[in-house]
Amino acid sequence: MRWLAAALVAVLLALPAFPSVFGSYAVTVFTLIFFYGFLGQAWNVVGGYAGQLSAGHAAFLGVGAYTAALLSAEAGVTPWLGMFAGGALAAVLGAVVGFLGFRFGLRGFYFVLLTVALSEICRIIAANTEAVGGALGYYITFTGNPRQFQFQDTRAYYYIALALMVAATGLVAWLERRRFGVYLAAIRDDEAACEAAGVDTFRYKMLAMLLSSFLTGVGGTFYAFYLFSLQPNTVFGVPLSVEIIIRPIVGGAGTVLGPVVGSFILSPLAELSRHYFAQGGWHGAHLIVYGALLVTVVLFLPEGAYPRLARALRRRAAPTA
Amino acid sequence: MAVGLTLIFGVMRVVNFAHGDMMVWGMYLAWLLAARGGVDPYASFVLCAAVLFVAGVLVQRGLVQRIVDAPHEMQILLMLGVALVLENAALLVFGPEPQRVRSALAQATIWLGPVFVDVARLITFGVAIVLTLLLSAFLFRTDLGRSIRAAADNPYGALVIGTDVRRVYAVAFGIGAACVGAAGALVAPLVPFQPSTGLQLSVASFNIVIIGGMGSLVGAFVGGLLVSVAESLGAVFLKPSLKELVSFSLLVLILLLRPAGLFGRRAA
Amino acid sequence: MSLLEARGLSKHFGGVQAVAALDLDVAEGEVVGLIGPNGAGKTTVFNLLSGFLAPDAGEIRFRGRSVLGWKPHAICALGLARTFQIVRPFPRLTVLDNVLVGALGRHPDAGEARARARRVVDRLGLGGKASSLAAGLTLAERKRVELARALATEPALLLLDEVMAGLNPTEIATLVGLIRDIHAGGVSILLIEHNMRAVMALSNRIVVLNFGERVAEGPPAAVASHPKVIEAYLGEDDVHAAPAR
């Protein structure tokens, strides 16, 4: 496995250099890969490791996005600070979701439903609140001012997204070996056995949810100042939640590199199918690909692409295992 | 609609996230038949049910059966995937604009005592009652129905006494899908629908089933009535765009307070 | 010194009284066997003692403190560990990580906890399987994993729920030895068991339950010949006076 780690490091070192080599379209694709990799990693904490399937993570993104956008436009607060406010508010929402779900003992399907319901409630509220632009959405005027988290050069977004993804991945890798990570993995397997072994399952699920929603909220700021327009139906919608969760699931939920691998597989796929289908005048068809992929993964690759890959590579390296 | 969902869940403990999207296909099928074949949906709903029955069996046999023993997360994700495929296939084939099905009956109204009643809604209500009664009769009186209930209660036990559990599961899923197909056809003339309606319908189904109790037919029926009343009341007092808020808030409340519903047994 | 005191413990489910005004004590250093026919309420007692169920009435004192209404993890932190009737190791975790979860409760630092977990794993003879996933082990091994995990929480009192069930005579003998060893290490034990030989061999004192009530109590020899006990078991096929061949 030594050479695999070396290869990873090599790629990691090479990535910052890409923008100089590639054209702007490739830069955009990679930016999206990194950004969704970051979001997927954030979800991974609570959805992959702790096994609490949240299908409403878009709500955290939305809250973070709107908060940073509003603070910047109305109060002149730079998004570099605003992102933490956005993250904090998203974490508050996460605390609410977590509290409601975990205190009332909602597991599995019921929990999924709760997260969907709550994120839809957020969406409807946002779409009906004129102060934040209502159903038409909120627009951010483009100034290109880096202090306002806006950049003329799209390559800046590339680096920021890359930094976010690497930081989140590093954080998850670090947590995995510590008590937090071990507890979460155990909680995913069997909560009652955890309690019997002295694990405060409620506390750790809440912590996971807080971390996950905070990070997602921070991502919201990036989203807001990358796309410059926030539509409640998009930003709080279930399709976006699906985008967030499908990468870690396909890549391997509950693993460090799963969300990253998943994002590298899915973002290019999404772009390709978007283009291919859009040419025929078909919209949203890339979601069919998502759906089919989800079905395939569940049936044939339940632990995700990355663990499978890792096992295959390990077998190659040590055939006498 | 909800009856179908509760059947699927009660028998296999699989939550069918694709329920709403199946219903939308039922609607589109009825639309097709009406537009191309000139068949009135109130006649074609039987056909729609049949088609969806077959589709349901196929889905079950091909996909769901494989993960019956898998952890719940996997089942959820599978049906989510199916839902995505169905919704966006509909988008592909039929386009995103809302559709409506024309039916002569949809326009007619009659006086029922002191109240104006929509003939269309009356028929739908009547058919719903009849279907639910038929389904109950099927489940409680026929051998196949009893097998289904046995398998729902205790899959291993059912296996031991010789029930072909896989066939039972397939049939149950098929019936669930058929219910939804019929529902789709019947409801199609009443509301405009588009592929994204799938999510709303799924949520509505879940709402109803959870309120009434997972696995209980009576519950599904009662739940349906309750939710409709609540939504109508909501529409009266609030802005129309907030109508969904009512159903989602209701769902959250029920989830928190009584996930077992009014008539249901708490599932694992 | 009394480690565990339960007084007037009652619990009913629907119309069934599972446990009825039960008094139960475990003194420090004891091994107490809890026996009774199926459905006598033994596992319910365990669930009540470990915090998984709330009693309808009664008081539970552990190490001098009332633990009524405490969550299971808090009771575990106080020093009461349990195993489950249907063994529940964490299937997707390795043996070592399974035990690690237990150890982390006492040693928050993962490195330290890992070292301690390693020691427990070796002590229970699972050293060779430390990196194997729990899901792939034999029943006997999985039981030892669960036992190791409970042990890693460094309990004062260990609740064992039918640990011998499903094991062959060799495995049972090994397990009996292990339990003796654990007891010698200073852990008090309360065990539910249907395997009479094991119970007789291990217990200082036996409590007999039937229909949620205590019907007899005393040293093994006395209990074995107690008329009420024989009456409770009459017709029961579970009484293994000798291991089934």
C-alpha–C-alpha distance, residues C188 and B201, integer Å? 57
Chain A residues closer than 8 Å to C72 by CB: 192, 195-196
pLDDT band at B3 (very low <50, low <70, confident <90, very high): low
Q: Where are the domains of chain A?
A: 2-15+23-317
pLDDT recorded at residue C223: 85
Paired tokens of A194: 């955890």
Please state the rounded mean pLDDT for residues A100-108.
84
**Helices marked H in A77-177:** 79-103, 108-127, 154-177
pLDDT of residue B265 exceeding 60: no
**Arithmetic mean of pLDDT, A15-25:** 72
CA distances in angstroms from C162 to A43, A80, C82, C87, listed in the order given: 40, 59, 11, 9
C-alpha radius of gyration, chain B, whole number? 18
Give the orientation angle of helix A258-279 with respect to helix A154-177, to 10 degrees: 140
Q: What is the pLDDT of residue C244?
A: 42
Whether C67 contacts C61, CB under 8 Å: yes
* Interface contact A124-B241, CB threshold 8 A: yes
Residue B108, number of CB atoms within 10 A of its CB: 13
Residue B15 pLDDT level (bands cut at 50, 70, 90): low
Phi, psi of C16 (to 5 degrees): -100, 130
pLDDT in tens for each of the 245 residues of chain C?
789 999 999 998 888 888 988 999 999 999 999 998 887 789 999 999 999 999 999 999 999 999 999 999 999 999 999 999 999 999 989 999 999 999 999 999 999 999 999 999 999 989 888 999 998 899 999 999 999 999 999 999 999 999 998 899 999 999 999 999 999 999 999 999 988 889 989 999 999 988 888 888 989 888 888 877 777 776 554 444 544 44
How far away is chain C from the Cα of A191, in angstroms, using its nearest Cα? 9
Q: Looking at CA atoms only, how far is residue B39 from chain A in angstroms?
A: 29
Q: Which residues of A touch B244 (CB under 8 A)?
A: 120, 124
Adjacency order of strands within the sheet including C16-27: C16-27, C2-13, C57-62, C65-66
Range from A110-119, A157-166, C158-167, C223-232 carrying the lowest mean pLDDT: C223-232
pLDDT, average across residues B66-73: 64
Q: How far is A186 from chain C (nearest CA, A)?
A: 6
pLDDT at B268: 31
Among A124-138, B70-84, B114-128, C75-89, the minimum mean pLDDT is found in B114-128
Judge whether C91 and C133 are in contact, CB under 8 Å.
Answer: yes
The pLDDT assigned to A244 comes to 92
| Sign for the pseudo-dihedral over CA of C127, C131, C134, C137 | negative
Query: CA torsion angle for B113, B119, B120, B125 (degrees, to 10)?
Result: 40
Quick one: pLDDT band at residue A110, thresholds 50, 70, 90?
A: confident
Return the percentage of chain A with pLDDT > 90, whole number. Answer: 35
Residues in chain A closer than 8 A to C82 (CB atoms): 196
Is residue C161 a contact partner of residue C43, using CB atoms and an 8 Å limit?
yes
Amino acid in position A151: F
User: In terms of Cα–Cα distance, which of B57, B265, B59, B76 is closest to B168?
Assistant: B57
What percentage of residues in chain B have a pLDDT greater than 90? 0
Sign, CA dihedral A142-A148-A152-A154, equals negative
Q: Do C93 and A186 touch (CB under 8 A)?
A: yes
Using N-to-C axis directions, what is the helix angle for B217-237 and B243-257, rounded to 10°? Answer: 140
CB A86 within 8 A of CB B224: no
Given a contact cutoff of 8 angstroms between Cβ atoms, the answer to whether A37 and A258 are in contact is: no
Domain ranges of chain B: 2-195
Over residues A174-181, the mean pLDDT reads 93
How confident is residue B41, by pLDDT bands cut at 50, 70 and 90?
low
What pLDDT is stored for residue B264 in this prediction?
45
Residue B24 pLDDT: 65
Chain A and chain B share a number of CB contacts under 8 A equal to 115
Q: Are A59 and A118 in contact (CB under 8 A)?
A: yes
pLDDT at residue number A124: 87
Chain A nearest C-alpha distance from B198 (Å) = 12
Q: Tokens for C33?
A: 């066997």
> If pLDDT is split at 50, 70 and 90, which confidence band does A227 have?
confident
What mean pLDDT is predicted for residues B249-257? 80
What pLDDT score was predicted for residue B158? 64
Confidence (pLDDT) at B111? 60
ipTM value for the complex: 0.87
With contacts defined as CB-CB under 8 Å, which chain A residues touch C150?
196-197
Q: How far apart are the first and last CA of chain A?
A: 13
pLDDT at A202: 93
The count of other CB atoms within 10 Å of the CB of residue B181 is 31
Picking from A49, A188, A190, A314 by the largest number of C CB atoms within 10 A of its own CB, the best residue to mutate is A190
Mean predicted confidence (pLDDT) in A246-259: 88
Q: For B22-40, what is the mean pLDDT? A: 63
CATH number listed for the domain at residues A2-15+23-317:
1.10.3470
Alpha-carbon gap, residue C9 to C25, rounded angstroms: 12
pLDDT of residue A74: 84
Q: Considering CB atoms only, which of C51, C81, C101 is closest to A194?
A: C101
Is pLDDT larger for residue A196 or for residue A284? A196
Residue appearing with tokens 């998850």: A172
State the pLDDT at residue B51: 75
Beta bridge partners of C67: none
Q: Sketch out chain C's domains with CATH numbers.
A: 1-79+157-245 (3.40.50.300), 84-154 (no CATH)
Which residue of A238, A297, A302 is in closest CB contact with B199?
A238
Taking CB atoms and an 8 Å cutoff, what residues of chain C touch A187? none
Q: Which of the pair, B124 or C225, is modelled with greater confidence?
A: C225
